[in-house]
Amino acid sequence: MPEPPRGTGARPALRPSRPQRDLEQPAYAADILDEADEHSRPYVAGDAPELPPEDKTDPGQSAPPYDGPKWLAHVPAHSPTVLGVIVVGCAVVLSALLSSGGVGLIGALLAVVSGTVLLARELRAAEQSPGFTERMPAVLMTPEAAATATAVMVALALRSLSLGVLPLLMVAGVGLLAHDQYRKVIAGADGVGAYFEPRQLLAMPQLVGLGGVAVCLLALFAPWGTVKLDVGVPDNAPVPQGPPELRVIATQRPTDDMLYSYGGGVTHLRGWDLPASVVVELALLAVLALLALRPEVERPSWTRYLPAGAVALALAFGGLHMRLLPGPFVFVFGLGAVGFVAVQHLRAARAAALAPRYDDSEDETEEAG
C-alpha cells in the first residue's frame, strides 16, 4: 500500500493537557469548578482572531434603533415640531439680520417663548435633555400651553404673509409644527379640542363676530400710511462727473403714479408694519376662541370682560393710526361687528351671574317639611 501523504497545513493549537482527576477518589469543589471552566472556554483554532467580549454592562437598556422617516433622523427627539421650531427660528434671525421687517420685536419675543415651550414638551416626551425640561414650570408643560403656543405661531405666520423667501420659510416651519401639534394636543384623546365647538361660530350672533374678526385681519394687509424713505441725495446735489456749476434741477414728480412715488422714496405701510399689530391680532383671535367654547366648560369670571377689552384695545390701535386710507376705515368697520358681539356677550354673562342659582337641597328640605 502507498504511504499516506503528510499534512502540511497549520494544525490547530491544542489546549494544554491537564491531569485527569481519578474518578475513584473523592471530588473537590475546586476541581469540579476548574473542569467546568475549562469546558466552557471558547475553542480558538490556529491564528484566528478572538471574538470581542460581549458587553454586558447595559443589557437591554440601550435605545432601540430609529426606524422613522429619514428626514427626521438627525432632528432632536425625531419630532416634526422641533424641526418646525428650528425653521421658524432661522426665519426670525435672518429677517432681523437682513432688516427685512419680519415679525417685529414683539413677534420675535413671542416666537422665542412659544418655541421654547414646544421644544421642552417634545424633548420631555422623548426623554432627552432632562436638565432643560426639569427647569420648565409645570404649567408650561400642559396640553393647554402647547395649544396656546401653536396658536401664537400660527398668528405670527399670518402676520408674515407676503412675497419673499423668508415669509415662505416662516409659513413652512409654522405649518410643520402646527400639523404635528394638532394631532398631539388638539385632536388627540386628551387634547384641548374637546373644550371647543367651532360650529358655534356659524350661529348668530357669533357669526357676526367671526365676520368682523376676518374683516379686521384682512384690513391689516391694506395700506395704512405712507413713509418717505431717506435716499441720501438732495435734489440740488452737484454732479461729481461734471463741472461745479452743473447742478441737478429739482423736478416735481407726479404722486399718482406708484412707480414715480416709489422711485421718489415714498412707500406704503401695511397695518402689519405698525407697532402692536400682533397684539391686536392675538386679542381678536382670543375673542373667537372664547365664543367657540362649549357651554359646559367652566369659565373664569374675568373672561366676561375679554371681548370688550379686546375691542377697546383694537379701537385704540385704529384710532392712533387713522388715516384717509382704506385700511383704517375697513378695520373700524369690522371692529364694529366685533363690538356688537362683545356687548351681547357681556349682557349674557351679567344676566347669568345675577340669575338665582337652582339648589337641589332646598327642594329636599321642602319635601321633608
* Range with the poorest average pLDDT among 122-126, 201-205, 235-239, 304-308: 235-239
Over residues 177-183, mean pLDDT: 89
Closest CA to 331 of 256, 258, 225: 225
Question: What sign has the CA pseudo-torsion 342, 343, 349, 353?
Answer: positive
In 221-308, where do the E strands start and end?
A: 223-228, 266-270
d(CA 260, CA 237): 20
pLDDT of residue 354: 73
Question: With 0-12 CB in 10 A as exposed, 13-18 as middle and 19+ as buried, what is 138?
Answer: exposed
Q: 70-91, pLDDT tens digit by residue?
A: 777 777 877 888 888 999 989 8
DSSP assignments along 13-49, one per residue: PPPPP-PPPPTTSPP-HHHHHHHHHHHHSPP--TTPP
pLDDT of residue 258: 44
How does residue 215 score in pLDDT terms, banded at 50, 70 and 90?
very high
Q: 228-239, pLDDT tens digit by residue?
A: 655 454 555 555
Whose cell is 392675538? That residue is 282
Q: Which three cell numbers stand for residue 163?
A: 412675497
Given a cut of 70, is residue 15 above it in pLDDT? no
Question: What sign has the CA pseudo-torsion 21, 26, 30, 34?
Answer: positive
Q: Which three cell numbers stand for residue 161?
A: 404673509
Cis previous bond, 205, omega within 30: yes
pLDDT of residue 38: 60
How does residue 211 score in pLDDT terms, banded at 50, 70 and 90?
very high
How does residue 165 score in pLDDT terms, banded at 50, 70 and 90?
confident
* Range with the poorest average pLDDT among 50-54, 189-193, 304-308: 50-54
Closest CA to 264 of 239, 293, 234: 234
Given a cut of 70, is residue 252 above it in pLDDT? no
Residue 185, C-beta contacts closer than 8 angstroms, at least 6 positions apart: 143, 146, 147, 150, 191, 192
Residue 232's CB is within 10 A of a number of other CB atoms, namely 7
pLDDT of residue 214: 93
**For the packed helices 104-125 and 80-97, what is the interaxial angle rounded to 10 degrees?**
160
* Better-scored residue on pLDDT, 359 or 341: 341
Over residues 27-32, mean pLDDT: 57
* Max mean pLDDT range (60-69, 75-84, 166-175, 265-274): 166-175
Q: 292-332, pLDDT tens digit by residue?
A: 888 888 888 888 888 999 999 999 999 888 888 888 999 99
pLDDT-above-90 percentage for the chain: 18
pLDDT of residue 246: 59
pLDDT of residue 94: 87
* Better-scored residue on pLDDT, 203 or 366: 203
Over residues 93-97, mean pLDDT: 85
Question: What sign has the CA pseudo-torsion 170, 174, 177, 179?
Answer: negative
The number of C-alpha atoms within 13 Å of 286 and in the hemisphere containing its C-beta is 20
Q: Which three cell numbers stand for residue 121?
A: 414638551
* Range with the poorest average pLDDT among 110-119, 121-130, 286-295: 121-130
| Whole-number average pLDDT of the chain | 75
Residue 22, C-beta contacts closer than 8 angstroms, at least 6 positions apart: none
d(CA 201, CA 287): 11
d(CA 218, CA 175): 20
Over residues 250-272, mean pLDDT: 58
What is residue 225's three-state secondary structure? strand
Given a cut of 60, is residue 44 above it in pLDDT? no
Given a cut of 90, is residue 285 above it in pLDDT? yes
d(CA 182, CA 147): 8
Over residues 114-122, mean pLDDT: 89
pLDDT of residue 41: 57
